[in-house]
Amino acid sequence: MSVAHLHQIRVRYAETDQMGVAHHSACVAWLEEARIEWLRARGRSYRELEAGGLLMPVVELSIRYFKTLRFDDVATLSTTAVCPGPTRITFTTAVLIGEQRCLEGVVTVAAVDPSGRPVRIPPDLRS
Amino acid sequence: MSVAHLHQIRVRYAETDQMGVAHHSACVAWLEEARIEWLRARGRSYRELEAGGLLMPVVELSIRYFKTLRFDDVATLSTTAVCPGPTRITFTTAVLIGEQRCLEGVVTVAAVDPSGRPVRIPPDLRS
Amino acid sequence: MSVAHLHQIRVRYAETDQMGVAHHSACVAWLEEARIEWLRARGRSYRELEAGGLLMPVVELSIRYFKTLRFDDVATLSTTAVCPGPTRITFTTAVLIGEQRCLEGVVTVAAVDPSGRPVRIPPDLRS
Amino acid sequence: MSVAHLHQIRVRYAETDQMGVAHHSACVAWLEEARIEWLRARGRSYRELEAGGLLMPVVELSIRYFKTLRFDDVATLSTTAVCPGPTRITFTTAVLIGEQRCLEGVVTVAAVDPSGRPVRIPPDLRS
């Protein structure tokens, strides 16, 4: 059973739109930040992974929006991950304010080398 | 049968990332631009719809990425729409370079009034 | 003499560009975040100021770039402020990595009411 | 005497903020787009310049905001350029709606090679 990794963000003013809420695109960068912090919590720097030739481009992304987030809100991103195959990781991140789930994102990344060929996810990231 | 609406964008330098391609979040704003142009082609200004009290927040979004886009690429966004219910529209947009499908986004918006209550999609947008 | 307010950010992957560094536009949101935290350190929530009818749109901005920032860099934003007149605040923010000054931004905001008329900066923010 | 290069943009919904106007950071990408189109009008593709080893990072940027832009506004960017030295170009861009000047940006880029060393601006871009 996977333990969720927790990360906090605060909604930036630049991330709002004229509906007075966080624009629906803003969370895409939050989800990415949560994945990078998930890796760091596993002892992995994504910067170093890339420098070492392991890239993780996004191949699929889906987000369901339940409740709007507002400027200056502090939200918790709760992330779990599974490997649907030897060269992919799927991250599921809930963005919460208190107990309220505001949105949920599911993002699949592919592990590739700099030329774009699939490579195996390192064992320590697969368990 | 729905005829696809076509719209062009050019990838901005600011939309690239250090992988040397358009960041996966960049297309979220392109998809939105395509929806707004789809409305305009139907004789509807989204600015005027909002001013008149009809808002269309995104409630669900999914994107599959097939091929990276690069800075300065000119891409065609081909958009169709269906109404899965009286208060929602689902837009499907393929982002193409020539015949090559680079990504596909499916975005569902809910029609709501300024207080967030669901309202019916105007008939001319439903057929 | 003004004591600098310090705030930290970490460069997001989405903020990089194909030069492999933080895009020059990314810091505009960081500078805004620093101003908001400067206000918070003075006991003022910008969200509440806006809700109370005091808006602070940017009227002038200038940035000099000395050294590039990279993905995952942790930078300190050191901010001071002066009032060049009764209705304006000018913030100067240095973005530092360690002792290295990477960029410096000078941003002037105007205090206005919701209709855009200039209003006086509250006294506690002027001293 | 330099003839201004004209380019049009339309304000994206994603570029608005909760003040109901284009966020002050949005224009940074527009100014960049205008510079790239200025180069294209001179017969130069910035993509090819970079591929050929000539990069143009921004070293200084200043913007004065006169009038807010709104979602869906179509604005004209009027750009002129001068070379303040053999390795730099300074672009001045006015963002206009009709005759109304909404903002003006002055951006200086440095011509460098991939290792960051200054290189001379090609002669055809200097006249």
Residue of B nearest to C19 (CA): B18
Q: Does A25 touch chain D (CB under 8 A)?
A: yes
Which residues in C lie closer than 8 A to residue A45 (C-beta atoms)?
72
Is the pLDDT reported for residue B54 higher than 70?
yes
Is the pLDDT reported for residue C120 higher than 60?
yes
ipTM of the complex: 0.96
Catalytic residue check, A17: yes
Residue C19, pLDDT score: 97
Residue D19, pLDDT score: 97
**pLDDT tens, position by position, D41-69:** 999 999 999 999 999 999 999 999 999 99
Q: From the CA of C117, how many Å to the nearest CA of chain D?
A: 13
Sign of CA dihedral B39, B40, B43, B49: positive
Alpha helices (H) in A7-107, listed in sequence order: 26-41, 46-51
Q: Does D28 touch chain A (CB under 8 A)?
A: no
Q: What is the rounded average pLDDT for all residues in chain D?
A: 96
The neighbouring-strand residues paired with C63 are C105, D61
Mean pLDDT of B57-71: 98
* pTM for this prediction: 0.97
% of chain A surpassing 90 pLDDT: 96
Residue D3, pLDDT score: 86
Residue B11, pLDDT score: 98
Q: Does A16 touch chain D (CB under 8 A)?
A: yes
Which of D16, D23, D69, D72 to mutate to test binding with chain B, by most B CBs within 10 Å of its CB? D72
Which residues in D lie closer than 8 A to residue A18 (C-beta atoms)?
13, 16-21, 71
Which of D25, D31, D39, D47 to mutate to test binding with chain B, by most B CBs within 10 Å of its CB? D47
% of chain B surpassing 70 pLDDT: 98
Is the pLDDT reported for residue B44 higher than 90?
yes
User: What 8-state DSSP symbol labels residue A18?
Assistant: T
Is the pLDDT reported for residue C97 higher than 60?
yes
Q: Does D12 touch chain B (CB under 8 A)?
A: yes
CA-based nearest residue to A40, from C15, B17, C30, C72: C72
Put simply, the chain B residues between 44 and 103 with a CB less than 8 A from any chain C CB are 71
| Domain-embedded: residue C125 | no
Among the residue ranges A26-35, C2-11, D73-82, the one predicted with the least confidence is C2-11
% of chain A surpassing 70 pLDDT: 98
Residues sharing a CB contact under 8 Å with residue A85, sequence separation 6 or more, in sequence order: none
Domain that holds residue A109: 5-115
Percent of chain A that is helix, strand, coil (3-state, to 5): 20, 40, 35
| Domain-embedded: residue C99 | yes
In the numeric block, the tokens 């979004």 are attached to B61
Answer for the pair C47, C121: CB distance below 8 angstroms, yes or no. Answer: no
Residues sharing a CB contact under 8 Å with residue B56, sequence separation 6 or more, in sequence order: B46, B49, B89, B109, B110, B111, B112
Question: Band of the pLDDT at B3, cuts 50, 70, 90?
Answer: confident
**pLDDT tens, position by position, C25-55:** 999 999 999 999 999 999 999 999 999 999 9
Is the pLDDT reported for residue B103 higher than 60?
yes
Residue of D nearest to B40 (CA): D72
CB contact under 8 A, A19 and B61: no
Mean pLDDT of A21-43: 98
Which of B7, B28, B44, B47 to mutate to test binding with chain D, by most D CBs within 10 Å of its CB? B47
Return the CATH number at D28: 3.10.129.10
Q: In the 3-class helix/strand/coil scheme, how is chain B assigned residue by residue? A: CCCCEEEEEECCHHHECCCCCECCCHHHHHHHHHHHHHHHHCCCCHHHHHHCCCECCEEEEEEEECCCCCCCCEEEEEEEEEEEECCEEEEEEEEEECCEEEEEEEEEEECECCCCCECCCCHHHCC
Count the Cβ atoms, other than its own, within 10 Å of residue B2: 10
Residue of D nearest to C21 (CA): D57
Q: How far apart are CA A111 and CA C73, in angstroms?
A: 23
Is the pLDDT reported for residue C99 higher than 80?
yes
Higher pLDDT, A2 or B88: B88
Residue C1, pLDDT score: 44
Q: What is the rounded average pLDDT for all residues in chain A?
A: 96
Chains that touch B (3 or more CB pairs under 8 A): A, C, D
Is the pLDDT reported for residue D37 higher than 90?
yes
CA-based nearest residue to D28, from D58, D1, D2, D7: D58
Residue D2, pLDDT score: 65
User: What 8-state DSSP symbol labels residue A67?
Assistant: S
Q: From the CA of C120, how many Å to the nearest CA of chain A?
A: 22
List the single residue in D12, D15, D47 with the smallest CB-CB distance to B72. D47
Mean pLDDT of A4-30: 98
**Pairing of β D58-65 and β A5-10:** unpaired
Rg (CA), chain C: 15
Q: From the CA of B44, how many Å to the nearest CA of chain A?
A: 19
Answer for the pair A17, A69: CB distance below 8 angstroms, yes or no. Answer: no
| Domain-embedded: residue A126 | no
Task: Provide the number of structural domains found in chain A.
Answer: 1
Count the Cβ atoms, other than its own, within 10 Å of residue B74: 11
Question: Band of the pLDDT at D111, cuts 50, 70, 90?
Answer: very high
